[in-house]
Structure 1
Amino acid sequence: MKKKKILIDINHPAHVHLFKNFIAEMRQKGHLIIIAAKNVKAIKDLLRSYECDYIDMGSKKDQMVAKYFYEFIHVLKLLFVVIAHRIDYGIGVSMALPMVSKVTTMKSFALDDDDLTVTPLFGKAVSLATVILTPHSLAFEDRGKAHICHQSYHELAYLHPKRFKPDPSVLQELGMAPGDTYFILRFNAFKAHHDTAAVGLSLEQKLALVNLLKPYGKLFITTERAIEPELEMFRLPVTPEKIHTLMYHATLFIGDSQTMVSEAALLGTPSVKLNSFAGRLSVPNEIENRYELCYSFLPRDFEAMLQKVSELLAMKDLKNVWRYRQETMLADKIDLTSFLTWFVSNYPHSYAQMKSNTACQYSI
C-alpha cells in the first residue's frame, strides 16, 4: 500500500475528538498526517493534550461578513499547504477542503452530519468534494454519486466502546465516585455561520433550571464563552479532554448545544436539549426518536422541558434504562474511526466496495 500525505482540517473542538484516533491509526500505518486548525483556545488545548502539531489557520470571527472573509483566507491558506506539501488526500468537516480539491490534484473526503435544509451554504461547498461521507440518517438526501452513507455517527469515532473508556481519576479529581448524582449543563455561543437565527437558553431559563436541579445533586456548567456572574460558582473545573468521562457518569446532561447533547446521549446519559434546531436535524432526530436517548425542545417549550427534566429525576433505575437503550443503538452502529481508516487507506477500492455493497462496512 502506497503511503499518502493526508491533510486534516480542524474547525471545531469536536473535530479534534472526531479525528484523534484516525490520526493515530493512519500514522501507525505510515501515512504522513498534517493538521490545519483554527486558532481557537479549546482546539489548541485539545491538540496539545493529544500531542498533535498543527498549522495555525487564524482566529475565527463572530460577525457574518468577517466569517466569509475568514473562510476565503482559509481556502487560500489550505491551497498553499496542499501545494507546498503535495497533499494526496484532505479530510474534514470542512467547507474549504472541497474547494481546494477542485483546483489541485488532492482528493477530498468531506464529512457532514447536518441536513442540507439547515446548512445550505455548507452543503453547497461540500458538494464539491471527491467523496461526501454522511451518517445513514441522511441517505434520503440527493447529494449525487459522490455520496457514501455509513452506519455510524461522528461522535462514535471517539465514543464507541472500542475507543472510549471512562477515566476513574476524573471523578476522584472532583471528590466524587461512580453512582453519585450530578448534572452537567452546557450553554452554547451560537456563533457558527448556520447559527445566525439560532436561539438557546436565556439567563432566566438557566437560573430556573439550576434551581430545579440543585436539591438533587451537584451542578457543573460548561460554556463556549464567558459564563454569567450568577452561574460562575458552577463552572466546570476540569480540562476539556476530561469532559466525556464526566458525561458518561452524569445523572443528566442538559443544555442548548447540538454536539455535546448527542455525545452525552450516545454515552448512555439521559440528555435534554432546548434550542431552535430541535426537530430539524435528521441525526439528532434518529437518536431521539429511534433510540430514545435524548429529548429536544424549541425555545417556546421551556416549561415542557422543565417537566421532562422533573420526570427523569423521578424515574427509577434511570441510568440502567439508558444503558440498555445505548446498547440497542450500538448494536446497529459501527466504529466510525475503523471505517474512516479503512475507507481512506483503501481508496478508491473502498469507494467501489461501498457503492456495490454497503453491508461491507460491518465486516471492517
Structure 2
Amino acid sequence: MKILIDINHPAHVHYFRHFARIMQSYGHETLFVSRNKEMAQRLLALYNIPYMDRGKGRDSRLGKLMYLIYADYQLFKISAAFNPDLYLNFLHPYPSQVAALLGKPSLVFSDTEHASLHHKLTVPFATKVYTPACYKLDLGQKHVRFNSFMELSYLHPNYFTPNPAILDVLGVQPGEKYAIVRFVSWAAAHDFDHTGMSAANKLKAVQTLAGHAKVFITSEGALPTALEKYRISIPVDKMHDAIYYSSLVFGESATMASEAAVLGTPAIFIDNDGRGYTDEEERKYGLVFNFTESNADQLRAIDKAEAILSDKDAPQKYKHLRETLLADCIDTTQFMVNQALQFSTAHPDPVMPVNS
C-alpha cells in the first residue's frame, strides 16, 4: 500500500513520523509532502524523512484561498506520479480534496474544534475523521473518537525517553527550576480575531516567573526588546526534552500545553476558544490550567503560574498525575496504524494491539 502523508504544520511531523516508520516496517510505502511552514521541513530533515515541498502558504484570508488552489494542484501532480492508495493528514483540506477527486480514501485527524473553516473544506471530502474522545463537536457519520491525545503519537513512553543532557545545553543544574514560555503568531486560519497576551502582560509574566525560576521563551514572532534575552536556543528536536524537565510551561500554544501535560509538566494555556483536550487535561488530570485572553484572566494566569513555581511538592505531584493519564490513554500511533491497515487490500497485515 502507498500512503501519502501531508504536513501543514511542524507538529504534524511528530504526529505521523512513528506511524510512517511502522508502516514501512510492514512493507508499505510512504511519501511525505510538506508545506514550508516554520520548522516543519527542518524537522523532517532532522529525522531523515524524505519529503516533497508544496510551497510556503499565505497568512491573509485571500492568500489562504489562493494557496488552497495552488496546494491542491501541487498534490494532484504529486499524486499522479506516486499513485497513493491512501491519504493521511491532520485537519487541513488539500489532501482530502485531491483524494476525493481521484476516488481514493483519506483519513484525517483533528483536535481543534474552532477550526471551522478547515472543517467545512475538509470533512465533506474525507473518508473518516478521527478525534480524541474529549472533542467537543459531533462531525457526523465519518467521525471516529479515540481515547487518547494527539501528543501521545510521539510522547508516549513507547516512543519518547527524555534525555537529561538537555540540562547542560540550557545551562541548568539538576533540580534547578526553569519555565518555558510560548508565544504564538496568531496567523493560523483558526486564529483570526485573536489578540493573545498584551505586551505589558507578557513582560509582567516573564518578570514574575523569573523571580522563581530561569525563563526560556519560544516565540513564533518578534519579541519585545526587553524579552529577547530570554529566547531559547536549542536544537528544534530537543524541545520535548526541555519540556519534560521544566517546572512549568506557560503561554498561548495548546499543543505545547498538551505536550507538557502528557510529560507530567504543569501548563498554563491562554486562549479564548480553548480546546476539548486541554479542558480534559485540566478537568480530569489537573495538568493544564486554561484561561481566556481577557486582561483579568491573563493576570490570573500569571498568579497561577507563580503559585505552581512556589509549590515545593509540584514536581512529584505532576509526574504522578501523568502516570494516571498514561494509564487511561491508548497509544495514538498504534491506533493510527490499525486504522490505516483496514485500507490495505493486498495482503493486509495483522492489526497491532492497542494499549488500553
TM-score (norm 2): 0.93
Structure 1 155/130 Cα, relative in aligned 2: closer, same or farther at 3 Å? same
Shift of 1:57: 0.7
Q: What SS does structure 1 have at the residue aligned with 2:16?
A: helix
Match of 2:349 in 1: none
Query: Which moved further from structure 2: 340-349 or 127-136?
Result: 340-349
Shift of 1:348: 6.9
Q: What SS does structure 2 have at the residue aligned with 1:329?
A: helix
What is the CA–CA distance in structure 1 between the aligned matches of 2:150 and 2:97, rounded to whole Å?
A: 22
Shift of 1:41: 3.9
Contact 2:182 2:250 in 1 (8 A): yes
Query: Which moved further from structure 2: 9-18 or 97-106?
Result: 97-106
Match of 1:150 in 2: 146
Match of 1:222 in 2: 218
Match of 1:5 in 2: 2
For residues 101-250 of structure 1, the aligned pairs below 5 Å read 101-115=99-113, 118-127=114-123, 128-138=125-135, 141-250=137-246
The one-letter code matched in structure 1 to 2:222 is: A
Pair 1:283-2:277 in alignment: yes
Match of 1:61 in 2: 58
Query: Which moved further from structure 2: 122-131 or 15-24?
Result: 122-131
Give the one of 26, 33, 40 matched to 2:30. Answer: 33
Shift of 1:361: 6.7
What is the CA–CA distance in structure 2 between the aligned matches of 1:125 and 1:162, rounded to whole Å?
A: 34
For residues 350-361 of structure 1, the aligned pairs below 5 Å read none
Match of 2:83 in 1: 86
Contact 1:16 1:46 in 2 (8 A): yes
Pair 1:44-2:41 in alignment: yes
Match of 1:19 in 2: 16
Match of 1:292 in 2: 286
User: How many equivalent pairs are there?
Assistant: 346
Q: What SS does structure 1 have at the residue aligned with 2:68?
A: helix
What is the CA–CA distance in structure 2 between the aligned matches of 1:45 and 1:109, rounded to whole Å?
A: 25
Structure 1 147/275 Cα, relative in aligned 2: closer, same or farther at 3 Å? closer
Shift of 1:107: 1.1
The one-letter code matched in structure 1 to 2:261 is: A
Match of 1:260 in 2: 256
The one-letter code matched in structure 1 to 2:106 is: S
What is the CA–CA distance in structure 2 between the aligned matches of 1:183 and 1:266, rounded to whole Å?
A: 17
Q: What SS does structure 2 have at the residue aligned with 1:226?
A: coil
Contact 1:190 1:198 in 2 (8 A): yes
Shift of 1:363: 5.4
Shift of 1:199: 2.2
Shift of 1:177: 3.9
Shift of 1:240: 1.1
Query: Which moved further from structure 2: 63-72 or 308-317?
Result: 308-317
CA deviation map 1:139-161 (0-9, x unaligned): x6432332221111111000111
CA deviation map 1:157-198 (0-9, x unaligned): 001111111112221222324422101000000111111111
What is the CA–CA distance in structure 2 between the aligned matches of 1:126 and 1:162, rounded to whole Å?
A: 31
TM-score (norm 1): 0.91
Pair 1:322-2:318 in alignment: yes
The one-letter code matched in structure 1 to 2:44 is: L
Contact 1:184 1:252 in 2 (8 A): yes
CA deviation map 1:309-355 (0-9, x unaligned): 22212223101111111111111101111111122123379xxxxxx
Contact 2:334 2:353 in 1 (8 A): no
What is the CA–CA distance in structure 1 between the aligned matches of 2:174 and 2:243, rounded to whole Å?
A: 12
What is the CA–CA distance in structure 2 between the aligned matches of 1:244 and 1:258, rounded to whole Å?
A: 14
* Unmatched tracts of structure 1, length 5 or more: 350-359
Match of 1:354 in 2: none
What is the CA–CA distance in structure 2 between the aligned matches of 1:241 and 1:290, rounded to whole Å?
A: 29
The one-letter code matched in structure 2 to 1:55 is: M
What is the CA–CA distance in structure 1 between the aligned matches of 2:155 and 2:173, rounded to whole Å?
A: 21
Identity %: 33
What is the CA–CA distance in structure 2 between the aligned matches of 1:225 and 1:22, rounded to whole Å?
A: 31
Shift of 1:40: 2.2
What is the CA–CA distance in structure 1 between the aligned matches of 2:303 and 2:216, rounded to whole Å?
A: 21
What is the CA–CA distance in structure 2 between the aligned matches of 1:260 and 1:141, rounded to whole Å?
A: 22
Shift of 1:362: 4.1
Q: What SS does structure 2 have at the residue aligned with 1:206?
A: helix
Shift of 1:229: 1.8
Structure 1 178/334 Cα, relative in aligned 2: closer, same or farther at 3 Å? farther
Q: What CA RMSD, in Å, does the superposition of the two structures yield over aligned residues? A: 1.7
What is the CA–CA distance in structure 2 between the aligned matches of 1:133 and 1:39, rounded to whole Å?
A: 25
The one-letter code matched in structure 2 to 1:44 is: Q
Pair 1:75-2:72 in alignment: yes
Structure 1 348/85 Cα, relative in aligned 2: closer, same or farther at 3 Å? closer
